[in-house]
Amino acid sequence: MAEIAPFKAIRPVRDKVHLVATRPYYSYKKNVLKAKLEDNPFTFLHIINPEFGNDVKTKPNSIERFKQVKNRFDEFIKKGILIKEDTARIYIYRQTKNGQTFTGIIAGASIEEYKSDKIKKHEATLTSREAMFTKYLDVVGFNAEPVLLSYKGNEQIEQLLFQYTEDRPEYEFTTTDCIKHELWVLSENNSLVLKNAFEVIEATYIADGHHRSASSVRLVDELENRNETVNESANYFLSFFVEENKLKILEFNRLVKTLNGYDENSFLHGLKALGTLTQLVGASHPSENHQIHICVKSSWYQFIPFDYFIESEHPVKSLDSNLLTELILTPILGIKDLKTSDQIEFVPGNESLQSMEQKIESGKFQVGFVLFPATIEQVKRVADHGLNMPPKSTWVEPKLRSGLTIYSINE
């Protein structure tokens, strides 16, 4: 079974939700972030950036900084910008972007199911980031950005989602990035019905948020080791459950700053020893698996590895992101560790190929690689085998706004 837990969300009052909810702060350029903080006193960004405008600042990711975050969060509640649900509920959220609609369930995901691998993972976490997020949670006491989980749906759940979204949503607003957001607060009874319907789901899969989920699990372990009380709500973490076929999975492309001593001709010659290389008319995305499009200076090529390099039965070694690393990035370009190298930049698949071209033409990067997106079946296959995909293998949508439904771990 898969458990989804109702919770007492802390959320914006209806007339300010469009001003409070925000993209994660790291997704904004510095000048845009500054402008939003200056012009909007209600944005959740003020909670995440509590020292904006102060002359004296604490150290980033320090206990002192996290205490400032908690204080600003408490201020938003005292001012009535954020309100707290009286009873535990489940929420339905719908996002419409470029004509595509994503509908899912916001609820708590079970830490016990995470530990027993009923919540499956496909990505290794960095110990340092996991520790930082754990310390943050311990001090501030809330989750504001849900972990994205996928599940294999059924007709009953789909029918309930359809039925419950026929009523007018509690929130309905459109943000400046032309994305429409809708949120339904289910009654206690409907929350229980949906919770019970979900029990037939055998497993869920982390699509996005491995560090956030791992840090929630780690916090419970640390509290138990310190012989401190673990609140009931701390046994769950804020999650957004979306039916697997409704997700949009894009690729993560790569830009590399160096040709590692090769010139353009010798680099291309090296590729011909590894697969078929065909020059393209211009920038384009691969049309199928095992095609890798490469931009060197202003020229584009299609590279297809020879069949004997592709271990089709292996969940990881058959992935294009792994083939690119094992055939080109490491042996030819000298990039030993994708997690730590300063010679590579990862570009989400929702960014244009023209922007990649411009970065190469500027001289900042020497070569770019465009991959075919992994499928949900490939992601699940890796997770089901207890393996990890290479770093930055998938860019998954939808991306939720921070501060829409906040989960307190201190209940």
**Of 41, 49, 85, which is closest to residue 66 (Cα–Cα)?**
49
Domains of the chain in start order, with CATH, are 4-248+398-408 (no CATH), 249-396 (3.30.1760.10)
Q: In the block, which residue shows the tokens 């894009």?
A: 250
Per the CB < 8 A criterion, the answer to whether 36 and 43 are in contact is: yes
326 DSSP assignment: I
Q: How far apart are CA 379 and CA 396, in angstroms?
A: 11
Report how far residue 189's alpha carbon sits from residue 191's, in angstroms, rounded to the nearest whole number: 5
In sign, the C-alpha dihedral spanning 310, 314, 315, 316 is negative
Instruction: Note the pLDDT of residue 411.
Output: 82
DSSP per residue over 30-82, as a string? HHHHHHHHHH-TT-THHHHSTTTT-SS-PPTTSHHHHHHHHHHHHHHHHTTSE
What is the separation of C-alpha 268 from the centre of its chain, rounded to a whole number of angstroms? Answer: 34
Burial of 25 (0-12, 13-18, 19+ CB in 10 A): middle
Q: Residue 401's Cα: distance from chain center in Å?
A: 11
355: Cα separation from own chain's centroid: 22
Sign of CA dihedral 202, 167, 85, 46: positive
Number of residues that this document lists for the chain: 411
- How far are the Cα atoms of 4, 73, 159, 237, 317 from residue 396, in angstroms, in the given order? 21, 29, 25, 19, 21
Strand partners, 238: 108
Q: Could you tell me if 52 and 37 are in contact, meaning their C-beta atoms sit under 8 angstroms apart?
A: yes
- For residues 108 and 232, give the distance between their C-alpha atoms in angstroms, rounded to a whole number: 11
| Main-chain phi, psi angles of 292, to 5 degrees | -125, 120
Residue matched to tokens 């949900």 = 376
User: Helix, strand, or coil here: 269?
Assistant: helix
* The pair of three-digit structure tokens given for residue 268, joined into one six-digit string: 């291309």
Measuring CA to CA, how many Å separate 262 from each of 242, 258, 300?
45, 9, 17
The angle, 0 to 180 degrees and rounded to 10, between the axes of the packed helices 127-140 and 63-78 is 40
In this prediction, the residues of the chain whose per-residue pLDDT falls under 50 are none
Give CA–CA dist 239/150, Å, rounded: 10
Q: What is the pLDDT of residue 309?
A: 96
Residue closest to 288 by CA, chosen among 180, 165, 370: 370
pLDDT of 27: 84
Which residue spans within 247-289 are E strands per DSSP? Answer: 248-256, 275-280
